[in-house]
Structure 1
């Protein structure tokens, strides 16, 4: 095990040896404990020498002040010890914020929304936030410190925070300095790093003393300009006395090779080892549309699948690791150059490494999926007059090989030159005095590969050792014992894709069990918060019921998230996924109405997206603010134009023109214009709401001279009572760009009030799973209608699948085949299918996964795939249950589930 990792200009050294490290993400909170060592073994066998380890604060501190590192699935010490035994270094990333497309970016749920004690600002020097962070660091840092490499452990790097340059932190210097000081006080002596998500090295580290910047690079894998981008960061960091360390990047090894050719000394493709959100919630909203729901299947196509199968990219890892090992220090100390600096013709993308003492590794990158002819011009093969026709080669589609050009053999103990090799060097046995076989160079390549070595012999002559295609060649001249071997790349190690088969389903009675479960605790009245966090609800469902007056013409929900199901007068309106944007439902005036709203938590935002209110770090979940609208007043016109977008300014004696909001005409599109109007807040007991109908561009609104608030087109409403008061007038100042063709359709001021709430109910995910498991036991095993092969011609439901009504969820029990293929001891892959339905998979009495199939946009892995790990179903409770609920008011279709066993 390495004892030290030293960083210097352009170099990374392990125990003094310059090295290039490959690092795979392995997240124990997404992999069952029983499989931790299996994943680490596969990483080790791939040739990667480091693992990237997020430590999920919210997973370990589910209740404030109770930090768990001892229960089996949270045993951080055990994971670190397994890595040490596998001789793997660890880049530990304990946050506090980790992103990772997880609930709140890893920040505990109780820091969000209106939870008791939630801080005013996250990821800043807010004292309440830092007090919680200090408690977290006080627990996690000593564990990491005890496992550092200087103490014989695996932890070689510790990252603080994560991609802070994506976040609008007002005080990055003070914030990051605080984190760094606490880490050092708690015993961290290995290098502390801070990663830049979009290249702002200072913004990511805050310039904190001793905090080393790294970069996360996520290019288009086919970008022809990426090589220059990566070399830019190499140059910037080398000038600061540091190496380029790419702490996150894409999975494709062609891209990783391009980064190494650009001078990267650590390359950490994010999520080579995929996982599954069994024990944590995924995030809601990332890479927006705006907004989506991250799948429980946390898989971006890395070289290991969530259930631990090797994919074809695993072979690419082994090949790259072998090449890095063969070249060793020579590659790890080489200087990056543009590809045109080396003598290669026919391709522009890729890069070259100038080796100390002469010669190049050239890495042409083929980005178009074509077989591309190229030519390498070797000085060692040139004629006496210096002329050469060069060596023709073929660059295979999608490749980025490391080819050799005019490389001296002297560092390996033999005089001579590796003139050209269009195969990859994978092993070197250096020449040793008095050993007959001398230097042995092993390459892997194709039938078209060519290798030529030029060796000096007596009298100034040379011997040329050449291979065209696989085989062996040995030098025959005395004193030059060189052997070159060219072999094909070994057969693929990828595991076969599982063969899925249709599972039989049995329909179980469900009735009104969900309503019954939610009945306790129940509260009536209208003052208690409708936020989940304020109710102590980290996950699950919150249901509120209301009586709406006969005066109401509309009901508004402001800030509701994530999956919001609304029923008006018993009619289900379907599930809305608006990420906090306003929801509106018309009402027929003249009679009272009933409203029922259920908000199901998918996961809190891990990333800020200003387009939707709930897509902000710290935003809570729940039903939000419910208002019944009594009247609407048109306020489109009579706005004073206080600031013009033109070159001239209003004179002191000028009366401000009156125009419609956004209606000032100008020849300067995009330039800001200021509009002002005095509006009524509403009478006592009522509240005024400004609604900008058809808004096309963001605007900034200030109320009574207060701070500006941004109003986005996706959420064009603003309550005109910032301090909670009612009655009187309020000055509304709108700063908006001039938009040819119109900024909006109209402006409305709504007079609204809170309706009377009649019930408030909560149900956790664990409670739901226990409830449905109990109902399945009560149903027994006989007498209920079987649904064989839903979605096929033999389905008892119909070949079109099982129709799920909006107000009638169903509970299904999977009828398995033989215990030999899908027994409780083994694991199981599932693929659920359907349209406009939500499916919750339950096994072993606990929720496994949730799936939305249809309109809500998902991202991450497959929205269809679920995985039950081995051992999750006890022999006495092997059943798999599926709760299927319609997402649309018209209902949805469930098309069944396919299954396959997994061995682990």
Structure 2
């Protein structure tokens, strides 16, 4: 660690300390690769206006190494320029260069061609993989090191890897240790962190020295158990003399407040600044039942929408930022604890509330309302309640203190009230003690107190400075000095936007000017206004005399993967003669396959590589166009194309030359089944036992011919099964109930499934022969972009326009100027939209074959103002489904960016 960096940035119990400044910090995710370069300044300014002073920035490896050894750090890939802009607006950066980032990004940023290298194992302490990682780190780490805080830049931490505890890494210490060594070799002097995706700190870091564990925490916003779980993480990190860094979490500031009062020192909601995936960069998989396509619109409801317009949470961000800034080091040094009995409410709230014992005196209590309805909260009298009972009302408000010393105030829906007690005010240049406030303290100084609230709030001030000592019997009990007549209290009315509530409280010669702001009036709102204009309806287009592919093919014996042809993004076209064949078995076909038998277009396949039977009797020729939506960003074993490192294309194509039912004549064996000797023969999964749920093994030899490939299909699975073939165990799932057997395999097959009374499985053995002789045309992204930029003329047509299944054509559509949100009407079509040399995005309209989409709005295409030349080029593919394909009108809505 360099001396300048070490003195400028440190991690300790109080959090991420910059230039000696201790603060609980809020961090927004903001990704340069999801925002046009022309929009970087406005997006950074909108984040800075929220009061957040950190941004976390993923740096995707495959965004910069766009082909093996072909690097690009120019234009909107100029990450150095982005980091410099962040520094210029006063933001600090947590840089996250991976090598794996997840982020619902194509392959989690791991280049697709890595899977082509035999023996290479992703995210492992393995020489071939690490050699590629080293080449990436050699490019990116010097760029980050040169821009560290303390060296005149923005970078204050570097994250290594991402949620490694989700992945079966065989040698975590060796792998993370190697990444650490590469970072140190390149002069990284800021703290190195590694985040746990499911709370396994050791699983994320390997317990490697010099790598700080952090937590990604995604609770249900309505969960009553957030506080105790976060306190546990805070305790685990405190034992290491480290702060709790929550490097990813939910967006709602009600939830973020709960994290703060439970001990988090850095809170980084993912994704406050939404974005948009241009090009062929969304991933597949993500979450689901199973699978899904990530939409180009990358949005999880953050305080900035994908085009940069602020949402209501932007105001909540400014309020919480102001609270953290006002309480400063006292809050950063605070210790969390459970607060049983601290309040009562008439709505659902935390099962175990948290409070922070502030350094220098006072406490901050969190009161969540987990419902969408207004409620009330009653705070009991403080430990020394006699003084509270003697407090008079101020001249400008009624006393909020009841006879028993309790205080009752409204509790807004979906909120977390931060109740501040017994805060000494001398450090702000004010007299006495802030005994209690249920409004947010967003500012304090010699001129008075600035509060913020949505509803009515209570304020109690004491002219006497608190003398506080820790009761040895109970950590949470603080003794307060009380002087009758020295306190003033007020019930403060709810402010309206633009109309603050002002009052002055006085007691025993002390005076406190007070202003209460509506949250919308705290800080400076983002200058970007939300969208709202009526859309322009476009009813004409020009159908271009321009081919959608060259038609130039090369011959291959077996169909290669797209990646083997250099198609890491884009699509691949396959053709083969199939005359005389009756049925094909497709394995690993992904992501979207459009099949045509002779001139008959079939429904699209988008099944994440699941094995598929295709009847082809009577057809002479198979043509297939296979488009890559994206590579899996998560490692999901349930379907082939959801595995990390899985390849794209048509996969393996077999002719089915025979079928045999093998559901019967299975020996029942294995522990817990009580079979006799010799073992009984039963149908597969047909053994009866009282031991429901106990694994039962069924064994037999299969009638393979020793020369052909075969496929075993298990129908009726409702979960995973272990299938051992000649002693080698494979996982078969309900989503992919197939297992391929090479020639000579299958003499001993053992199927192990949990016993379900009354259950039975059907097993079928298919004999296979590979389909040979393929004509293949690769069409990578740069070839498609070149076609999209080709000058062409055509015929003017009116929309809506009927198309035939299998039709594919280019259309030019004139649109209004400025930034636009484009929505297409129609059915049974897929549309890729191009402008300014970029793929803007892809939509798939009303098709039974369409998979589930996750993320943001899958029907929207964003045309940034800087890229709008007055026209958008569409490549339209008509699909077969329940209705005839139709390209409908285009609705263009102006957006402010």
TM-score normalised by structure 2 residue count: 0.90
- Structure 2 residue 76 is the aligned partner of structure 1 residue 73: yes
When residues 108 and 713 of structure 1 are mapped into structure 2, their CA distance, relative to the original with a 3 A threshold, is same
What secondary structure, in the 3-state scheme, does the structure 2 residue paired with 1:847 have? Answer: strand
Partner of 2:796: 784
Secondary structure of the equivalent of 1:777?
Answer: coil
Distance 1:119 1:35, change over 3 A: farther
Alignment map for 1:44-83 (pairs within 5 Å): 44-69=48-73, 71-83=74-86
Match of 2:684 in 1: 661
* 2:621 is equivalent to residue 629 of structure 1: no
- Corresponding position of 1:546: 576
SS of alignment partner, residue 534 of structure 1: helix
Instruction: Kindly state the Cα deviation for residue 865 of structure 1 after the two structures are TM-superposed.
Output: 1.1
Residue 525 of structure 2 is aligned to residue 498 of structure 1: no
In 1, Cα distance between the equivalents of 2:826 and 2:671? 54
Aligned equivalents of 1:687 and 1:669: distance in 2? 35
- TM-superposed CA distance for 1:104, in Å, is 0.4
Q: Distance in 1 between matches of 2:483 and 2:272?
A: 51
The CA deviation at 1:740 is 2.4
- Written as runs of structure 1 = structure 2, the 5 A alignment for 1:271-670 is 271-279=271-279, 281-340=281-340, 342=342, 346=346, 348-349=349-350, 350-379=353-382, 382-383=385-386, 388-412=404-428, 416-430=432-446, 440-446=448-454, 448-456=456-464, 461-467=484-490, 468-469=492-493, 470-475=501-506, 477-478=508-509, 480-491=510-521, 495-509=529-543, 513-514=547-548, 517-520=549-552, 522-527=553-558, 529-550=559-580, 552-588=581-617, 591=618, 593-646=620-673, 648=674, 654-670=677-693
**Do the aligned partners of residues 902 and 412 (structure 1) sit closer, same or farther apart at CA in structure 2, a change above 3 Å counting?**
closer
In structure 2, distance between residues paired with 1:396 and 1:879? 47
Determine the structure 1 residue equivalent to 2:864. Answer: 869
Change in CA separation of 1:634 and 1:83 when aligned onto 2, cut-off 3 Å: same
CA distance in 1, matches of 2:381, 2:102: 48
Structure 1 position 54, deviation (Å): 0.3
* 1:46-125 mapped onto 2 (5 Å cutoff): 46-69=50-73, 71-112=74-115, 115=116, 117=117, 119-125=119-125
Q: 2:257, 2:362 → 1: CA distance?
A: 18
Change (3 A) 1:828 1:538: same
2:878 maps to what in 1? 886
> Any idea what SS the aligned residue of 1:575 has?
coil
SS in 1 for 2:150: helix
Which whole-Å deviations, capped at 9, do the CAs of 1:374-394 have from their partners, x for residues lacking one?
112343883369773411201
Residue pair 2:686, 2:758 contacting (<8 A) in 1 also: no
Q: CA deviation at 1:695?
A: 2.5
Deviation at 1:525, TM superposition (A): 4.3
* In 2, Cα distance between equivalents of 1:421 and 1:567: 70
- What does residue 709 of structure 1 align with? 730
Query: Which secondary structure does the structure 1 equivalent of 2:228 belong to?
Result: helix
Distance 1:511 1:408 in 2: 77
Distance 2:121 2:587 in 1: 21
Q: Structure 1 residues 533-542 or 157-166, which shifts more?
A: 533-542
Bigger shift: residues 395-404 or 760-769: 760-769
C-alpha distance in structure 2 between counterparts of 1:273 and 1:384, whole Å: 47
Contact 1:572-1:889 at 8 Å conserved across structures: no
Deviation, 1:644, is: 4.2
Q: In the superposition, relative to structure 1, how do residues 409 and 649 fare at CA in structure 2: closer, same or farther (>3 Å)?
A: farther
Change (3 A) 1:688 1:344: closer
Q: Name the count of aligned residue pairs.
A: 846
Q: 1:812-843: per-residue Cα shift (whole Å, max 9, x none)?
A: 33233xxxxx32xx322212233442121122
How far apart are the structure 2 equivalents of 1:119 and 1:667? 46
Contact residue 98 and residue 105 of structure 1 kept, 8 A: yes
* Corresponding residue number in structure 2 for 1:791: none
Paired position in structure 1 for 2:478: none
Give the deviation of 1:576 after TM superposition. Answer: 1.2
Q: Deviations over 1:198-228 (max 9, x none)?
A: 1111001111121111000111111111121
**What is the CA-CA distance between 1:87 and the residue it aligns to?**
1.8
| Partner residue of 1:27 out of 25, 31, 52 | 31
1:812 matched to which residue of 2? Answer: 811
Contact 2:196–2:204 (CA under 8 A) maintained in structure 1: yes
Contact 2:279–2:838 under 8 Å retained in 1: no
CA offset at residue 484 of structure 1? 2.8
Question: 1:827 aligned to 815, 819, 844, which one?
Answer: 819
Residues 549-589 of structure 1: per-residue CA shift (max 9 Å, x gap)? 42x3311100000011122232211111110101111243x
Corresponding residue number in structure 1 for 2:394: none
Determine helix, strand or coil for the equivalent of 2:584.
strand
Q: Residues 378, 703 of structure 1: CA spacing in aligned structure 2 closer, same or farther, 3 A cutoff?
A: same
Between the aligned partners of 2:161 and 2:662, the Cα distance in structure 1 is: 46
CA deviations on 1:747-778 (whole Å, 9 max, x unpaired) are 1111111123342122223323433553x722
CA distance in 2, matches of 1:192, 1:459: 48
The match for 1:757 among 773, 795, 806 is 773
- Whole-Å Cα distance in 1 between the matches of residues 106 and 534 of structure 2? 31
Question: Is contact 2:346-2:376 (8 Å) kept?
Answer: yes
**Mean Cα deviation higher: 286-295 or 541-550:** 541-550
1:720 alignment counterpart = 741
* TM-score (normalised: structure 1): 0.89
CA contact (8 A) 1:94 1:140 kept: yes
Aligned equivalent of 1:739: 756
CA contact (8 A) 1:614 1:620 kept: yes
Aligned-pair distance for 1:733? 2.5
**Once the two structures are superposed, what CA deviation does each residue of 1:125-144 show, in whole Å capped at 9, x if it has no partner?**
12111110011111111111
CA contact (8 A) 2:381 2:388 kept: no
Q: What SS does the aligned partner of 1:656 have? A: coil
Q: Measured at CA, do residues 511 and 107 of structure 1 come closer, stay the same or move farther in structure 2, by a change above 3 Å?
A: same
Separation of aligned partners in 2, 1:302 and 1:445: 22
Distance 1:871 1:401 in 2: 42
Quote how far apart the aligned CAs of 1:672 are. 1.8
Q: Distance in 2 between matches of 1:748 and 1:423?
A: 68
Deviation at 1:476, TM superposition (A): 5.8
Give, in whole Å, the separation in 1 of the partners of 2:485 and 2:687. 83
- Contact 1:102/1:280 (8 A) holds in 2: no
Q: Deviations over 1:677-719 (max 9, x none)?
A: 22244354x321111123322112222223x111111111111
Which stretch shows the higher mean deviation, 318-327 or 451-460? 451-460
Q: Secondary structure at the match of 1:692?
A: strand
Specify the alignment match of 2:19 in structure 1. Answer: 15
Given that residues 810 and 884 in structure 1 are in contact (C-alpha distance below 8 angstroms), is that contact kept between their aligned partners in structure 2?
A: yes
**Contact 1:295–1:861 under 8 Å retained in 2:** yes
Q: Residue in 2 aligned with 1:819?
A: none
Does 2:716 align with 1:689?
no
| Residues 266-322 of structure 1: CA deviation (Å, up to 9, x unaligned) | 000112111111145100111122111000111111111222211111111111111
The alignment's C-alpha RMSD in Å is 2.5
> What residue is the counterpart of 1:265 in the other structure?
265
For the Cα contact (< 8 Å) 1:456–1:462, is it kept in 2? Answer: no
Q: In structure 1, list runs of 5 or more residues that go unmatched.
A: 431-436, 788-796, 817-821
Cα separation, partners in 2 of 1:490 and 1:859, compared to 1, 3 Å: closer
Contact 2:462-2:507 within 8 A present in 1 as well: no
CA-to-aligned-CA distance 1:205-260 (integer Å, 9 cap, x gap)? 11112111100011111111112111111111112211111000111111111110
Instruction: Show the counterpart of 2:157.
Output: 157
Give the CA deviation at 1:860. 0.6
